[in-house]
Amino acid sequence: MFLQQLSLFLENKAGRLTEVTQTLSKHGINITAFSIADSEDFGILRMIVDQHNTALKALKEEHFVVHSTNVVGFIIPNQPGKLYDALQHLDKTTIDIEYLYAFAHNGDAAVIVKTNNDELTANILKENGYSLIEKHPFDPDEMPTE
Partner 1 sequence: MIWNEHAECMERSSLVELQNQRLHEMVSRLYYNVPFYRKKFQEQGIEPNDIHSIDQLKELPLTTKQDLRDNYPFGLFAVSQREIIRLHASSGTTGKPTVGGYTRRDIEIWSEVVARSLYAAGVDHNDIVHVSYGYGLFTGGLGIHQGAQKIGATVIPASGGNTKKQLQIMHDFGSTVLACTPSYALYLADTMKEIGMNPEELKLRRGIFGAEPWTEEMRKEIEQKLHLKALDIYGLTEIIGPGVAMECEHQKGLHVFEDHFIPEIIDPLTLQPVAEGEIGELVITTVTKEGMPLLRYRTRDLTSMTTQKCACGRTTARLHKLMGRTDDMLIIRGVNVFPSQIESVLLEISETEPHYQLIVDRVNNLDVLEILVEVNESFFSDEIRQLESLSHKIKTAIESTLGISAKIRLVEPRTIERTEGKSKHVIDNRFH
| Beta carbons within 8 Å of 64's beta carbon, 6+ residues apart | 8, 9, 20, 23
Least distance CB 9 / partner 1 (angstroms)? 5
Nearer CB in complex with partner 1: 44/87:
44
11 is a contact residue toward partner 1 (CB under 8 A): yes
Interaction residues for partner 1, span 51-110 (CB under 8 A): 63-65, 67, 69, 98-99
Nearer CB in complex with partner 1: 84/99:
99
10 is a contact residue toward partner 1 (CB under 8 A): yes
Least distance CB 65 / partner 1 (angstroms)? 5
Q: Facing residues of 97 across strands?
A: 115
Question: Segment near partner 1 (CB under 8 A), from 7-15, 17-25, 117-125, 137-145?
Answer: 7-15
3 burial level (CB within 10 Å; 0-12, 13-18, 19+): buried
Instruction: Please tell me the distance from the alpha carbon of residue 17 to that of residue 36, in angstroms, as a whole number.
Output: 10
Question: Segment near partner 1 (CB under 8 A), from 25-33, 36-44, 76-84, 121-129?
Answer: 36-44
CA dihedral 10→16→20→26, nearest 10 degrees, is: -160
Q: Label residue 3 left, alpha or beta by phi (over 0 means left) and psi (-120 to 50 means alpha).
A: beta
Q: Facing residues of 42 across strands?
A: 11
**Interface positions with partner 1 (CB under 8 A):** 5, 7, 9-11, 37, 39, 41-42, 44, 46, 63-65, 67, 69, 98-99, 114
